[in-house]
Structure 1
Amino acid sequence: MSQRGIKLPVAAAIALGALVFAASPGQALQPDEVLPDRKLEQRARDISLGLRCLVCQNQSIDDSDAQVAQDLRRVVRQRLVAGDSDSEIRAYIVERYGDFVLLKPPFNARTFLLWLGPAIVLLGGAVLVLWGRGRSRAGAPALSAAEQAQLRKLLDEREREPPT
């Protein structure tokens, strides 16, 4: 077997391993954080997946290694063990950190710009583009017959000139 034949399967195996590793969700959960009750642990994971890490901001606390994420995971588990419902735990954390801590914040008076902001910016940009196009067309005066003839003459002379 040639040396090239050996390298290809090894490279493919490494690439496949990297792909599997990259595709798997991050598991920042420490072994000492796992609850012994499987049902409570599953509820904790479900809640944690909906809470934003305040440091990482685009990761759930379940996926983040940040200290604040670990602290929030512990709070979630402590409240579950204390008997709080999922909604009570979310409400407790939102009360302390605000709607920002939710990966999917509710639509309300405080978050409407978050939800509608991109659409408003897109519509505003479209209005500006259309207004600018209409204004540029309306602002250009029509050329008289003499001006059009002079323009044609200049363009013809430019086409006949050798390129520099």
Structure 2
Amino acid sequence: MDSEELDLGRDRSLLLVDDDDAFLKRLGKAMEKRGFAVQLAEGVAAGKAEVAQNPPAYAVVDLRLEDGNGLDVVEALRESRPDCRIVVLTGYGAIATAVAAVKIGAIDYLSKPADATDVTNALLARRSDHPVPPENPMSADRVRWEHIQRVYELCDRNVSETARRLNMHRRTLQRILAKRSPK
């Protein structure tokens, strides 16, 4: 075990940044039960303020926050504490954002819904460990639905523009958007 891992073992400070208040509090309580000293932040500004005041050893940062992009918090963490182990968490899983998160210093990228066990495993995994496949991965229908929702949001909820970018008929897209998300 190198000295970096030894230091992180003693310092169990954890910053959770998410704009979903209920999820944030639930995950915070679960991580406290696992021995972490948890600080909560509900957005980019609050996350950066917490990093400036007391840089944590661990962090879980939601990618899409109401007041900006969670990657801004990841960059602030890397500047303040380069040894911080950061997991990026998001409801909109995409390869491009996963690559961006890892390039700026995140050690892992988890799609919501991730539970406290998934988060703990990601935070404490050794660098040489390969991630364990999820017990209940998203179905292909759910992955498709998530992708359509992400493109729809990126197009500012414009159905015609989203249909054009996804190369599908506008009415087909409207029917998909009107349905509930698949499991």
TM-score (norm 1): 0.27
Which of the two has greater strand per residue?
2
Which of the two has greater helix per residue?
1
Which of structures 1 and 2 has the bigger CA Rg?
1
TM-score (norm 2): 0.25
